[in-house]
Amino acid sequence: MTCIAATMPTIGLGTYGRTGDAGMASILAALELGYRHIDTAQSYDTERPVGEAFRRSGIPREQVFITTKVADTKLDRVGFMPSVEESLETLGLDHVDLLLIHWPSQNNAVPFEDYMTELKRAQDIGHSRFIGVSNFPIAMLEQTRALLGDGAVVTNQVEIHPYLQAPRLSNYARSIGLPLTAYQPLAQGDVRSDPVLVALGERHGVTPAAVALAFLMAEGHAVIPASSNPVNLRENMRSLEVRLSDDEMGQIRALNRSERRINPTKSPRWDD
């Protein structure tokens, strides 16, 4: 399994909606199938099932890359670090592998410098091996570089899928050597019925979803599809086996239509 950002596997498991015992069971199933990158967040209510699934798996800690995210309601200097420490307690871990800012503060209600320096401090005191951001447009990535320096953050987690390929953001990120992590990489399941992806899946002997994931990874992104279905979990992992030709990559690039699914009122001004 190839990696970006040091030891982060390029395919992981998104855990939004995987709450309670049922969620824990689906996360454990993913770990048993070979997933080694698990993505959670304070706002998902999945940190506890992630931690429990990890413990039940018996997999050595250094072999599982665990990401969590600080909620935009916890960005101020008073609440930031206690929220990270609460996340660690809930997960049952002494550190996470990657800590992200989930959403930038809307209208800079919490000053950018305040929460970004707290993020770096969380890394410095050992709460996380790596730090990154989520839902950051180019302008905020430039602010991050100016404040923390080149290479301080290891990824920007954003919505990317065949229908929202974010070329401006992607090209900028490549230019500075910053990998993107694609959430909603299957466009909320819509890729499964796409004629182009269906045809390519039949050609390669995999699902359309696996083709979509293989495409995104070939573009240099990490992917964190979410599923509780063991068949889908297994098929999504098969994306690692798919090698798309230049012509096939072009067919999928032509599907881009800047179709954004996740766009709450707190969103920053998007580039694409």
User: Which residues are part of the catalytic machinery?
Assistant: 44
Calculate the dihedral angle through the C-alpha atoms of 185, 2, 144, 94, rounding to the nearest 10 degrees.
100
Residue 134 amino acid letter: S
- Whether the CB-CB separation of 36 and 57 falls below 8 Å is answered with no
Q: Residue 177: is it exposed, middle or buried by C-beta count within 10 angstroms (0-12/13-18/19+)?
A: exposed
Contact 149, 117 (CB under 8 A): no
Helix (H, G, I), strand (E, B) or coil at 4: strand
Strand pairing partners for 153?
Answer: 131
Region label for 222, one of left (φ > 0), alpha (ψ between -120 and 50) or beta (otherwise): beta
In this structure, what token pair is assigned to residue 137? 């447009």
